[in-house]
Amino acid sequence: MRVPLITLCLLACIAALASAVILQKAWNLYPCPLCILQRYAFIALAAGCVLALFWRPAAWLAGLAALSGLGVAGFHLYRLAVPSEACGRDAVEAFVNGLPMAQWAPSWFAATGLCSDPIPPVLGISFPGWAFILFLLCGAALAVAAKAPRHE
């Protein structure tokens, strides 16, 4: 049960990242700093899942990545729900755009938008809402996988 759960979580991360980039290009969207941080969390989660497939304790490490992504997505949802708290050009953007990945792959990792920019929901749920759901489900799946019996 451990390997299928981790594999499913890995595939969900790949799908989330691919969807974000494809929809960014197709809908001409500009990702905000919190969107980019969620991408980093999905990459860390995917890397943790790959490690967890071969090294059992890495499931807890991947779980920490899911927890960090859950926190960023939750904060993003809060920022969207409380318009007076909407993020703009701030220290988070300077930090995110100063990371090496923003220089190496700016179309994927440079924060060029605002959190308050209108983005159409996908199936009635906002992008950070989907990220929150995926981080929550992956975190739960990884907790189950980490506690799964050793015999498979």
Cβ proximity of 74 and 132 under 8 Å: yes
Given a cut of 70, is residue 11 above it in pLDDT?
Answer: yes
Q: Please report the DSSP string for 71-132 in residue order.
A: HHHHHHHHHHHSGGG---SSHHHHHHHHSHHHHH-HHHH---S-TTS----BTTB-HHHHHH
The answer to whether residue 152 sits within a structural domain is no
Given a cut of 90, is residue 84 above it in pLDDT?
Answer: no
Q: Give the separation between CA 20 and CA 59, rounded to whole angstroms.
A: 24
pLDDT at 57: 81
Per-chain mean pLDDT for the chain:
86
The answer to whether residue 56 sits within a structural domain is yes
Least confident of 11-25, 113-127, 129-143: 113-127
Given a cut of 60, is residue 88 above it in pLDDT?
Answer: no
pLDDT at 129: 94
* Boundaries of domain holding 33: 2-147
CATH of the domain at 39: 1.20.1550.10
Closest to 87 measured CA to CA, from 67, 64, 117: 117
| pTM beyond 0.95 | no
Q: How far is CA 139 from the centre of its chain?
A: 12
**Coil/strand/helix, residue 68:** helix
Residue 10 CB contacts under 8 Å (≥ 6 apart), including other chains: 46, 49, 50, 53
How many domains does the structure of the chain reveal?
1
Average pLDDT value for residue range 96-118: 80
Q: Give the separation between CA 17 and CA 46, rounded to whole angstroms.
A: 10
pLDDT at 51: 92
% of the chain surpassing 90 pLDDT: 37
Pairwise pLDDT comparison (13 vs 1), residue with the higher score: 13
Split at pLDDT 50, 70, 90, the class of 48 is very high
The DSSP 8-state label assigned to residue 30 in this structure reads -
